[in-house]
Amino acid sequence: MDVNHDAALVVLSGGQDSTTCLAWAMQRYKRIECITFDYGQRHRIELEAAQKIAELADVPWTCLPIDSFSKLGGNALTGDEQVESGVRAENNLPNTFVPGRNLIFLTFAAAFAYQREITELVTGVCQTDYSGYPDCRESTMTALQNSLRAGMEAPFTIHTPLMHMTKGESIKLAQEVGAMELMAWSHTCYNGSVPPCGKCPACELRAKGFAEVGIKDPLLERLS
């Protein structure tokens, strides 16, 4: 493949972190594309948020269906199980855990990028704020990058600008890269509520980040 380090593919979930990554990438790359995965998440609003954000950013957006997760075993984000703040007793992981989910997402992203001669992949995974997801860690991203390079013979780089940031630091980065306008359309709430429920772990983490920086969440501003 012709390698062009001026182009990047952003994995856009529609949440605040991937939205920040999109704005970050827009400052660094000449050509950007976004990919969102429709894996049967309970809340279609996440997909709508991603589409709206890509539209506002004026970048090509692809929604890739992955219908395999529901067959892999139940979990809170695709099934009817209630999301709890705690963890599953058996493995100490949050009950929103799909084993290897980010491996699957990023492998599909790489296969998609390959076809478009893009080698730079950008994802909002972060090992600081997350509660034990092994597929969000830097060591996993390094191993995965090696696997993608070997398996597709292409010089992929996985960029994780938020990897070691606290939620507050990632909000500061969002400000710096001018992500606030896009952020007003991002969706975070695990319960799929608009306005956000404010009570689920995702809402709490988001609120904590904005509180740390001392600014208002543009999503709440927009909806008020």
Binding site for a copy of itself (CB under 8 A): 1, 62, 64-68, 71-73, 91, 98-104, 107-108, 110-112, 114-115, 134-135, 137, 139-140, 143-144, 146-154
> CA angle at residue 24 from 38 to 202, to 5 degrees?
50
Min. distance of Cβ 92 from a copy of itself in angstroms? 10
The nearest distance, CB 127 to a copy of itself, in angstroms, is 12
Number of helices followed by number of strands (H, E) in the chain = 8, 5
Nearer Cβ to a copy of itself (69/210): 69
Nearer residue to a copy of itself within complex by CB, 80 or 224: 80
CB-nearer residue toward a copy of itself: 51 or 193: 51
142-167 b/e (C-beta count within 10 Å ≥ 16 → b): eebbeebbeebebebebbbbbbebeb
Phi/psi at 177 (5° precision): -95, 10
- Min. distance of Cβ 145 from a copy of itself in angstroms? 9
Query: Minimal distance in Å, beta carbon 11 to a copy of itself?
Result: 14
The pair of three-digit structure tokens given for residue 21, joined into one six-digit string: 């990554």
Instruction: Return the closest-CA partner of residue 109 out of 8, 3, 20.
Output: 8
Largest separation between any pair of C-alpha atoms in the chain: 50
Shortest distance, position 40 Cβ to a copy of itself, whole Å: 11
